[in-house]
Amino acid sequence: MLRVRKLSLRYPNGKLALSDFDLAVAAGEFVVVLGGNGSGKTTLLRCVTRTVKPSDGEIWLGKTDLCALEGEKLRCARLALAMIWQHASLVRRRSVLSNVASGALGRNFGLRTALGGLPKAELEAARGYLAEVGLASLADQRAGTLSGGQAQRVAIARALAQRPQVLLADEPVASLDPEAAEEIMRLLQRLARLENIAVVCVLHQVELAYAYADRVVGIRDGRMVFDLPRGEVSREAVHRLYLPEAA
């Protein structure tokens, strides 16, 4: 579903943030990316979403090379690519339901959506996605009143409303308590299985990676260190990802 080949990103100051990075994630697979601060995890996701343009390499989403796209074509390709962040990034003054349904804006363009409205069918579908993340009862509540865990689940529901083929998550549990973090990870794992979505999740919590990932990818200094099924990833290999430069 998602294939990254020889991906490199060099910043204008000469620093190499990603170097010859290869990654393939199949539909329904849940891949966790581990690495220390500044190792290139988030940069990898930003390249995949094309928020930044890679210096070199290819990003294949199905049969489309995202690196070759710009403007309207890139916008259309992004419809298949959903993203969730450490903070839920909801529009706080809108209802939970509207926030979820706004995930479907990309494929619904008309006067109604241009003026801030949402199609009834999408609002109905959004109720379903909210039920899927266990928050159906909060549909009419303002997004700004939610707890961190609830907001993150709404962000996941919004991603579902996008009907993505690939879901990218950048430290989605970093600001949550352990219980809420487990809940989010369970949800992401379930979505990968049931909705057949390729999930790439950047994490710092090694234990969560061992518990939920199908595959674990280790990254250090912008290079892939390992890409293994979770059962084959040794504690020592993970530990080495976080060692200081000199060690």
CA 135 to chain centre: 20
Q: Is 243 in the site for other proteins (CB under 8 A)?
A: no
Our CB check for other proteins shows the closer of 42 and 113 to be 113
Question: Burial code of 15-44, b = ≥16 C-beta within 10 A, e = fewer?
Answer: eebbbebebebeebbbbbbbbbeebbbbbb
Q: Which two tokens stand for residue 1?
A: 């579903």
Cβ atoms within 10 Å, residue 236? 7
Residue 55 binding other proteins, by CB under 8 A: no
Residues 173-212 touching other proteins, rule: CB under 8 A, are: none
For other proteins, give the closer residue by CB, 154 or 213: 154
Task: Work out whether 2 is an interface residue with other proteins (CB under 8 A).
Answer: no
Question: Per-residue x/- marks for other proteins, 126-165, CB under 8 A?
Answer: -----------------------------x--x---x---
83 to each of 50, 164, 209, how far by Cα in Å? 12, 9, 19
Q: Does 114 bind other proteins (CB under 8 A)?
A: yes
Q: In what order do the strands lie in the sheet with 16-25?
A: 16-25, 2-10, 56-61, 64-65
Q: Pick from 10, 87, 127, 240 the residue near other proteins by CB under 8 A.
A: 87
Check: CB of residue 168 under 8 Å from CB of residue 197: no
Which of residues 12, 116, 231, 244 is near other proteins by CB under 8 A? 116
- Binding residues vs other proteins (CB under 8 A): 49, 51, 75-76, 78-79, 81-83, 85, 87, 89-94, 98, 102-107, 109, 113-116, 155, 158, 162
